[in-house]
């Protein structure tokens, strides 16, 4: 290649580009086109949301009560901070500040991990409350209302195998005074105390009196939040890759396009979450 570009020995310049600037512009243009595809992809999901919400607004105002607004706010702030650190990482890469670049990438990675951790806490709450996708909602629907909570629990244990194959294996309920672990909604009673079972049943009763389509809200919520979480996971992998490149000294020459494009991807994930936070958590 050296003879083709006798005036330029820059190792960062790919052979099919004339100049570094042209290479950077092309790379950026390609990234923007990818981001547009990403926006239209999430746009389809937002369209699903809008149509269902227009048709059944009460389902959304009911369903969103089961999302923790405080955790949602926390996650929004976490993502905004990660946006700052990623933008700062781009600056550091441009200025060849290897230490700051490393620090910012590590911070971004940790913040992204925090986001997923909080999401996990939320998902497990909803799992305990049987607020999963439509097919798993209201597992106790055919239990008569007059059945006592204790009987309802054992009835749901008997009904468990065919509706929740992924639940924990069946365990015979032992002495009700042994453990404080609350029962999973569609699973066995486990080792919970009687008081825990009553509380869990009260939560489930609350779910069971919902409008028939409340499951719609959580189907859409998990579809959107789950795909967004997947995007965050991909972003974290990209950050690890950038960290590896940083340690190898790939950005010491100020050729920051890889950091820049990863940051672009990350910022889109943050902006999508800002809208999702508003539309899922903050509706009344």
Partner 1 sequence: MNQAEIHQSPRVASVKSLLGVWIALIVGTGLTVGVTSFDLGAFNIWIGLGIATGQAILVALFYMHLRWDKPFNAYIFVFSFAFLGLFIGLALMDTSQNQADMIPDFGAAESVAPEMP
- Residues making contact with partner 1 (CB under 8 A): 10, 19-21, 24-25, 28-29, 32-33, 35-36, 39-40, 43-44, 46-47, 50-51, 54-55, 69, 73, 76-77, 80-81, 83-84, 86-88, 90-91, 94-95, 253-254, 256, 260, 263-264, 267, 270-271, 274-275, 277-278, 282-284
CA distance 265 to 262: 5
Q: Residue 73 or 179: which CB sits closer to partner 1?
A: 73
Which contacts qualify for 56-60: CB closer than 8 Å, 24 or more apart? 56/211, 56/213, 56/216, 58/211, 59/211, 59/213, 59/214, 59/216, 59/217, 60/217, 60/283
Report residue 221 as tokens: 């919520």
**Minimum distance from CB of 224 to partner 1 (Å)?**
14
User: Toward partner 1, which CB reaches closer, 129 or 261?
Assistant: 261
Identify which of 98, 108, 110 has the alpha carbon closest to the alpha carbon of residue 247: 98
CB of 55 to partner 1, least distance (A): 6
Nearer to partner 1, 2 or 40 (CB): 40
CB of 106 to partner 1, least distance (A): 17
Q: How far is the CB of 39 from partner 1 (least distance, A)?
A: 5
> Residue 200 class from Cβ within 10 Å (0-12 exposed, 13-18 middle, 19+ buried)?
buried
- In the complex with partner 1, the residue whose CB is nearer, 184 or 217, is 217
CB of 268 to partner 1, least distance (A): 8
Q: How far is the CB of 243 from partner 1 (least distance, A)?
A: 20
DSSP 40: H
Nearer residue to partner 1 within complex by CB, 22 or 124: 22
Closer of 90 and 131 to partner 1 (Cβ): 90
Distance from C-alpha of 182 to C-alpha of 243, rounded to nearest angstrom: 41
Cα separation, 241 vs 244, whole angstroms: 5
Residue 265 CB partners (closer than 8 Å, separation 6+): 31, 34, 35, 38, 235, 238
User: Which residue's structure tokens are 């194959």?
Assistant: 165
Minimal CA–CA distance to 197: which of 262, 152, 130? 152
Q: How far is the CB of 181 from partner 1 (least distance, A)?
A: 33
Q: How far is the CB of 111 from partner 1 (least distance, A)?
A: 12
DSSP at 2: T
CB contact at 8 A, 277 and 119: no
Asked if residues 137 and 101 have their Cβ atoms less than 8 Å apart, the reply is no
Residue 84 or 173 with smaller CB distance to partner 1: 84
Nearer to partner 1, 42 or 218 (CB): 42
């Amino acid at each position: 290649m050296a003879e083709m570009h006798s005036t330029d020995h820059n190792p960062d310049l790919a052979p099919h580009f004339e100049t570094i600037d042209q290479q950077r512009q092309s790379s950026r243009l390609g990234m923007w086109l990818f981001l547009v595809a990403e926006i239209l992809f999430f746009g389809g999901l937002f369209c699903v949301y809008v149509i269902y919400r227009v048709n059944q607004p009460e389902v959304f105002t009911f369903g969103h009560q089961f999302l923790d607004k405080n955790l949602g706010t926390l996650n929004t702030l976490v993502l905004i901070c990660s946006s700052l650190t990623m933008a700062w990482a781009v600056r550091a890469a441009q200025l060849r500040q290897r230490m700051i670049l490393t620090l910012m990438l590590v911070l971004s990675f940790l913040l992204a991990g925090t986001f997923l951790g909080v999401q996990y806490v939320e998902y497990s709450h909803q799992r305990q409350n049987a607020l999963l996708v439509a097919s798993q909602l209201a597992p106790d629907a055919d239990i008569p209302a007059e059945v006592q909570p204790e009987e309802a629990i054992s009835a749901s244990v008997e009904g468990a195998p065919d509706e929740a194959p992924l639940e924990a294996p069946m365990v015979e309920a032992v002495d009700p005074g042994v453990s404080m672990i609350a029962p999973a909604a569609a699973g066995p009673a486990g080792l919970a105390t009687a008081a825990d079972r009553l509380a869990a049943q009260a939560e489930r009763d609350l779910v069971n009196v919902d409008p028939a389509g409340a499951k719609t809200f959580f189907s859409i919520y998990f579809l959107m939040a789950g795909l967004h979480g997947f995007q965050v996971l991909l972003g974290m992998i990209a950050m690890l890759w950038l960290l590896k490149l940083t340690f190898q000294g790939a950005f010491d020459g100020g050729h920051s396009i890889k950091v820049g494009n990863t940051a672009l991807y990350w910022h889109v994930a943050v902006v999508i979450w800002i809208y999702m936070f508003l539309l899922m958590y903050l509706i009344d």
